Amino acid sequence: MALDTLQEYCQTGTPVDAYVVDAHCHMGPYFNFQVVDEGSAEAMVRSMDTLGIDVSLFSPHLAITADWREGNLQSAEAAAAFPGRLVPMITVSGRATPDEVQAEVTRWHNETGIQAFKFHSSLHGVDTLADGYLPVYDYCDRHGIAILSHCWNGAGGTEGVIATLTARYPNIEFVNAHSASSWDGIEANCAVAEKFPRFHLDLTGSRLLWGAVEYMVQRMGPDRILYGSDSPFIDPRPSMGRMMCAHISDADKLKIMGTNAKKLYKL
């Protein structure tokens, strides 16, 4: 059923028929949350079909916590089961040695190819300027691949880290997760994005602030804002509803909900 506006799709519970990318997902069980069907790939795709999400970029909970190598293996298996629907974000720990990380990068470059990386430096207990991440930065700079990080922590805070990395690596796009979880965070992240044109803002978060999307679009435009949900341990329906009912144009919504990620991650 073709409807006139994205808000009508939301209000009628109709799956969106435009191109939609959930650019921040996970997979599998997680120690700190109850996850429906243990976050299986099958459950994720069922949820995507209900909402009209075409592609989900994901990194398993296992990869961002205890075992990034096994997590990447599970990512590859899920992607093979649902080709074109589930796109792995290769995860490494900056606590590992550069040689260990290089081996993981080389493996997935050769076996499946790599479209994106995910860092979770806080859960791995390190900062994003750690030596263990250097092989990823070098690889992404050579291949023009984007990196999503839960935070860009290190010397100088987010602005200092992004200043360092953008100076070193001219071909990497940097994505900041959870950029709209508080008004202080929105202000700070928009300020960094205004200074660094390769810094993108991810809307994923459990707190969906009233007017946040509208404010961010007004301040920095729609082209470097990405929709994400944290599915499956956060139900994607509230964040999708926020996007479809936001007081911005449908053209801007479609950029944020799909075409920005399609371009950034070469989907």
Residues 6+ apart with CB under 8 A from 263: none
Report if pTM > 0.85.
yes
Q: Are 110 and 147 in contact (CB under 8 A)?
A: no
Percent above pLDDT 90 for the chain: 92
Task: Report d(CA 9, CA 31) in Å as an integer.
Answer: 34
pLDDT in tens, 1-15: 478 899 999 999 999
CB 73 within 8 A of CB 108: no
Round to whole Å and give the CA distance between 20 and 211: 21
- Tens of pLDDT, residue by residue over 250-259, are 999 999 999 9
Q: Is 205 exposed, middle or buried (0-12, 13-18, 19+ CB in 10 A)?
A: buried
Q: Extract the tokens encoding 216.
A: 């961010």
Q: Check residue 233 and give its pLDDT.
A: 87
Check residue 144 and give its pLDDT.
97
Contact 61, 233 (CB under 8 A): yes
Distance CA 13, CA 254 (A): 18
Residue ranges of the chain whose pLDDT lies below 70: 1
17-264: CATH, from 3.40.1390.20, 1.10.3720.10, 3.20.20.140, 3.40.50.2300: 3.20.20.140
Residue in 178, 207, 244 with CA at minimum distance from that of residue 16: 244
SS3 labels along 162-197 = HHHHHHHCCCCCEEECCCCCCHHHHHHHHHHHHHCC
pLDDT number for residue 3 = 85
Query: Using CA atoms, how far apart are residues 72 and 186, in angstroms rounded to an integer?
Result: 31
Comparing CA positions, the residue from 169, 258, 157, 242 lying closest to residue 205 is 242
Q: What is the pLDDT of residue 207?
A: 85
> What pLDDT does 60 receive?
97
Quote the pLDDT of residue 35. Answer: 85
Closest alpha carbon to 71 in 46, 100, 91, 55: 91
> Rounded to an integer, what distance in angstroms lies between the CA atom of residue 237 and that of residue 51?
7
